[in-house]
Amino acid sequence: MKAIITVTGKDHKGIVASVSTKLAEVEVNILDISQTLMEEYFTMILLCDFSGSSLTIPEVQEQMKAVEEREQLVIRIQSEEIFNAMHSL
């Protein structure tokens, strides 16, 4: 299963490392990544493959809470199907 992960927050060193390290720990593979700085704000969108993970999307979201708190970020995960349904006309 694929999912879209969005990450937003104030820019600082280590955001990509923290997010990607936690995803690797729960065996979620990053297929594509895009990041942008908008003044002092950091935004990142990741397309990830969850097929190698034994965890569900809600369980991975729970695991990401530690990264959210430590890095002062907002991290959201949506299945690709839900994301596409929400963004189609």
CATH number at residue 40: 3.30.70.260
pLDDT value of residue 23 = 98
Q: Is the pTM of this model over 0.85?
A: yes
Phi-psi region of 40 (alpha: psi -120 to 50; beta: other; left: phi over 0): alpha
Residue-by-residue pLDDT tens, the chain, 89 positions? 999 999 999 999 999 999 999 999 999 999 999 999 999 999 999 999 999 999 999 999 999 999 999 999 999 999 877 766 676 66
Query: What six digits make up the tokens of 42?
Result: 């950091």
Question: What is the dihedral sign for C-alpha 7, 10, 15, 16?
Answer: positive
State the Cα–Cα distance between residues 67 and 78, nearest whole angstrom: 17
Count structural domains, the chain: 1
Domain range enclosing 79: 2-86
